[in-house]
Amino acid sequence: MSQQFQGKVAAITGAASGIGLECARSLLAEGATVALVDRAEETLKTLCAELGPKAIPVVVNLTDPQSVADAADSR
């Protein structure tokens, strides 16, 4: 691995499964800190525990404006 994203931060939506999860895995492998964004809270917590300290779970339903506002306020 080249670690070309060392020191960078990325946010990946739909990160609890599928393409989003694979993108998050790839960026983590390249050294990035990754905010995994999804509404599946338990899945995100489990995945981030497995992926390591540079994987940060962000639970938010992007189709719900109040959920987005709450997530933004909590950071």
Regarding predicted confidence, which is higher, 14 or 71?
Answer: 14
Domains detected in the chain:
9-73 (3.40.50.720)
Convert the pLDDT of each residue in 17-60 to its tens digit: 999 999 999 999 999 999 999 999 999 999 999 999 999 999 99
pLDDT of residue 2: 72
- Within 13 Å and on the Cβ side, how many CA atoms surround 64? 9
The CA R_g of the chain, rounded to the nearest whole Å, is 12
pLDDT at 75 over 80: no
Contact 36, 16 (CB under 8 A): yes
Report the largest interatomic distance among the alpha carbons of the chain, rounded to a whole angstrom: 39
Phi-psi region of 73 (alpha: psi -120 to 50; beta: other; left: phi over 0): alpha
- Both tokens assigned to 5: 């994203």
